A and B are shown apart, each in its own frame.
Chain A
Amino acid sequence: MNARPPLSEAPVLAQHAALRAQFPILKQPINGQPLVYLDNAATTQMPLAVLDAVRQFETHDRANIHRGVHTLSQRATDAFEQARTTLKRFVGAGSDHELVFTSGTTDALNLVAQGLSQGQDGRAAVIGPGDEIIVSGLEHHANLVPWQQAAWRSGATLRILLPDAQGRLHEDALARLLTPRCRIFALTACSNASGERPPYETLLAQARQAGALTVLDAAQAVGHSAMQLDTLACDFMAFSAHKMYGPMGMGALVGRRAALERLTPLRFGGDMVQSVSFERAVFAQLPARLEGGTPNVGGAVGMAAAAAFIESIGHHALESHLADLREHAAWGLRRIEGVTVLSAQTSASAIVSFVAQGAHPHDIGTLLDARGIAVRSGHHCAQPLLDHLGTGPTTRASLAVYNTHEEVEQLLTGVTQAIEVLR
């Protein structure tokens, strides 16, 4: 077997111990062993910079936003709107884009799927009977089930862009599915289950060319990849704070203003209206019209701090560090007899998902946990994909900025020994 490929000297590695020290949760034993946290695709941990920003807001600036004339309300409003500005810049949004805060990616994708399939005030829904919705076969259930419901609600047909046997998506397969009736194309920027990074730039452009609105689930990309929304043929992009070193229960839907305006609001109440009489209401402009109720202001502050944390490391350094770790893990796992790594050759991914003959992912996961190693086992909310690939449930190790090559070695040793126990 070949020697492990040489590792690049990413600048992030130079101060890695100091960087790691910014994540207090990592400094604890689990089952008597140092914690090796490799479940970052489920949630990343928060650095002190994010924890401090949230604490600063909650202890100094907390008040309800908008319409208050007192000082704290103004500070909280400023913090919330500053977070919006920071995050728009973070994902490369342009002047014709807007960002709506949500509780996460699932919430954002539901807002799009429901908002396009429900009418409003006598106005027909964007998706109607006989229309078509195309969803890729790589999707998390959060970017599939809302479209199943949208199709059912509107009388549209749902079509799936199936990946090939290696789990890759292809332009010619999309070309065969696109018709003049296609209203929506929904795609992930990186599969949470296989780690596959599809050529989403070209696929989105192809779908827009055919007249479809395009939806990108960027939950597994924003934590390391520099998104350039203004250069993408993307109408709606969803992402979560807790997969980019930010708080849980916070996320965003960012998109072309003209596309966001086509969404029927789903949450009616305070802050999303311009004027109200006892009989009817006139809705506010974007982004307020899609943000009914008191938002998670502290979450928005934390999410913006997380974006600043990522930018302080630099996307390039982050991506090269994660690519090295993934290559190391995929290389080592493939050397273990009977182990198959999904999407082994994909690039710009921080997820390595694998199956081992004769060793079930739940057993591997439990045996790794006994060594302090946290991975995820199962279907990863992408059951149709794993059924299609014929792998069944997998074990998934997912990487973040604080992970090290030593930790990858511990994973490889742990998997080898788990398989020895189980076979």
Chain B
Amino acid sequence: MSIDLDLYQDIVLEHKRAPRNFGALPGATHQAEGTNPQCGDQISVALKIEQDRITEVRFQGQGCAICMASTSMMTEAIRGAQTSAARQLQARFRGVLTGTEEADEAYLGKLISLAGVARYPNRIKCALLGWHALGHALQSPLASNAASQGATS
């Protein structure tokens, strides 16, 4: 398969050029960053979690096409989801890229377009950078919201 079809599919490039849910998130309750030490790419993911549901998600930072597209599609997939469902999707997507899980289009949706990254081991980190930041963000309530977070959980 050619690399254009395999790795740089149109939908991936389209998300790279116009990332969704990109920017600051006023009123975020959770936030964390991920860094790829190889290239210094940095992605920050901010969440608004209300009663265990992710009502808003935005990301900022810079990265390669794979990283930006993966994070952009991630925000679409988890917006409105329960935090447990977001964690589950994160584990599943990671499993698909590291080859421990089957790529199931019905479950992954658009993210299936990134399944080919599994064949490029040195790019898996790029595709997972935003997801690592998400994993940390889910566990990182912002101090200013800690009290209200305590009240809802």
Chain A positions within 8 Å of B, measured between CB atoms, are: 360-363, 366-367, 370, 377-379, 383, 386-387, 392-393, 421-423
| Contacts A/B (CB < 8 Å), 8 sampled | A360-B39, A361-B39, A366-B123, A370-B3, A383-B40, A387-B40, A393-B41, A421-B8
Q: Output the residue of B16, B63, B64, B67 with the most chain A CB within 10 A.
A: B64
Please report the C-alpha to C-alpha distance between residue A360 and residue B2 in the assembled complex, in whole angstroms.
20
Query: How far, in angstroms, from A422 to B13 measured CA to CA in the complex?
Result: 7
Binding site for A on B (CB under 8 A): 2-4, 7-8, 13, 16-17, 38-41, 62-67, 120, 123, 126
Question: A-side binding surface: helix, strand, loop or mixed?
Answer: helix
Q: For residue A298, give the distance in angstroms from its CB to the closest CB of chain B.
A: 30
- Return the chain A residue nearest B65 by Cβ: A363
Q: A362-B64, A362-B66, A393-B40 are in contact. Are A367 and B8 (CB under 8 A)?
A: yes
* Apart from A363-B8, A367-B3: 5 A-B pairs, beta carbons within 8 A: A360-B41, A363-B64, A387-B40, A421-B4, A423-B17
B38 neighbours in A (Cβ, 8 Å): 378-379
Cβ A393 vs Cβ B39 within 8 A: yes
**Which of B3, B4, B66, B120 has the most C-beta atoms of chain A within 10 angstroms of its own C-beta?**
B3
Closest B residue, CB atoms, query A367: B3
Q: Contact at B65–A360, with CB atoms within 8 Å?
A: yes
B123–A360 contact, CB under 8 A? no
Q: How far is the CA of A387 from the CA of B126 in the complex (A)?
A: 20
Q: How far is the CB of A394 from chain B (nearest CB, A)?
A: 10
With A360-B64, A421-B4, A422-B16 as given contacts, are A366 and B40 in contact (CB-CB < 8 Å)? no
Nearest-Cβ distance from residue B127 to partner chain A, whole angstroms: 11
Closest chain B residue, CB of each to CB of A394:
B39
Measured in the bound complex, the distance between the Cα atoms of B64 and A370 in whole Å is 17
Q: Do A366 and B120 have beta carbons less than 8 Å apart? A: yes
Cβ contact within 8 Å between B8 and A392: no
Which residues of A sit under 8 angstroms from B65, Cβ to Cβ? 360, 363, 422
CA distance A422 to B3 in the complex (A): 12
A377–B3 CB distance below 8 A: no
CB proximity of B114 to chain A, nearest CB, Å: 13
Tell me, rounded to whole Å, the shortest Cβ–Cβ distance linking B68 to chain A: 8
A378 proximity list for chain B (CB < 8 A): 38-40
Is there contact, CB below 8 Å, between B40 and A362?
no
Please indicate the chain B residues that have their CB under 8 angstroms from the CB of A387 in the complex. Answer: 40
The distance in angstroms between the C-alpha atoms of A377 and B17, with both chains bound, is 21
Set of chain B residues within 8 Å of A366, measured between Cβ atoms: 3, 7, 120, 123
Tell me which residues across on chain A come within 8 A of B62, comparing CB atoms.
392
Tell me the complex Cα distance, A201–B40, Å: 33
A364, closest chain B residue (CB) = B64
CA distance A377 to B8 in the complex (A): 18
